[in-house]
């Protein structure tokens, strides 16, 4: 199994696990990462990681749960614009890469790249962005675990669709 970066907590999930990374002084969440099945749970290393882990667990039960955590700033101006568009998509709904691209005067591929660079995919739910054809599109820059990550995206969309 691949060694994971130093996560402040790892929370088991139906699709695998969610890694939580906080900054050095544990004042902000820096990253959520989708981890493959078989990833070992890691108890929170600090109070913020404990709160983030609790909120991840709540989301896994309650798909319309809204995260309320101090988050580290990241990304370029364009990436942040894409992430704002994504954050406006309600649980159970989807949008397309092309729709966001049109709103921002960009191209769908650039929107996809911004989605792939998203360090906080549960807070900024890139899984709600799908291909114009109705297919899943990509997810989380799917380099190493393409099948696992697309299965994760599918699970997240189904989880949120079941909230109604």
Instruction: Say whether both 50 and 94 belong to one domain.
Output: no
Q: State the pLDDT at residue 147.
A: 73
Does 23 share its domain with 84? no
> Of these residues, 126, 129, 140, 149, which one is catalytic?
126
Q: What is the pLDDT of residue 163?
A: 66
- 126-129 contacts, C-beta under 8 A, 24 or more apart: 126/86, 127/152, 127/153, 127/156, 127/157, 128/86, 128/89, 128/91, 128/93, 128/94, 128/95, 128/157, 128/160, 129/86, 129/89, 129/94, 129/95, 129/96, 129/97, 129/100
Q: Retrieve residue 123's tokens.
A: 């807070």
Q: Are residues 104 and 150 in the same domain?
A: yes
Does residue 69 lie within any of the structural domains?
no
The answer on 35 and 97 residing in a single domain is: no
- How many domains would you assign to the chain? 2
- Per-residue model confidence as pLDDT tens digits over 47-74: 999 999 999 999 999 998 999 999 998 9
Task: Clarify whether 126 is annotated catalytic.
Answer: yes
More confident residue, 141 or 129: 129
**Is 3 domain-assigned?**
no
Instruction: Decide if 71 is inside a domain.
Output: no
The verdict on residue 28 lying in a domain is yes
- Is the separation of the CB atoms in 108 and 97 below 8 Å? yes
Instruction: Indicate whether 39 belongs to any domain.
Output: yes
Looking at the fold, whether 49 and 86 belong to one and the same domain comes out as no
Question: 89-121, pLDDT tens digit by residue?
Answer: 999 899 999 999 999 999 999 998 999 899 999
In a domain, 126, yes or no: yes
Residue 47 belongs to domain spanning: 9-61
Q: Do 154 and 82 belong together in one domain?
A: yes
> Please, which pLDDT band fits residue 3 given cuts at 50, 70 and 90?
very low
């Amino acid at each position: 199994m691949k060694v994971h970066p130093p996560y402040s907590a790892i929370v088991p999930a139906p699709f695998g696990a969610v890694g939580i990374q906080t900054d050095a002084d544990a004042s902000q969440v820096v990253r959520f990462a989708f981890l493959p099945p078989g990833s070992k749970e890691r108890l929170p290393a600090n109070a913020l990681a404990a709160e983030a882990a609790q909120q991840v667990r709540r989301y896994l039960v309650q798909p319309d749960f809204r995260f309320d955590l101090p988050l580290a700033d990241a990304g370029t101006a364009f990436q942040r614009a894409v992430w704002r568009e994504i954050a406006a998509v309600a649980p159970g709904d989807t949008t397309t890469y092309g729709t966001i691209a049109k709103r921002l005067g960009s191209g769908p591929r650039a929107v996809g790249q911004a989605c792939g660079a998203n360090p906080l995919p549960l807070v900024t739910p890139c899984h709600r962005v799908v291909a114009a054809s109705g297919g899943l599109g990509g997810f989380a820059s799917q380099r190493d675990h393409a099948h696992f990550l697309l299965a994760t995206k599918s699970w997240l969309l189904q989880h949120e669709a079941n909230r109604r």
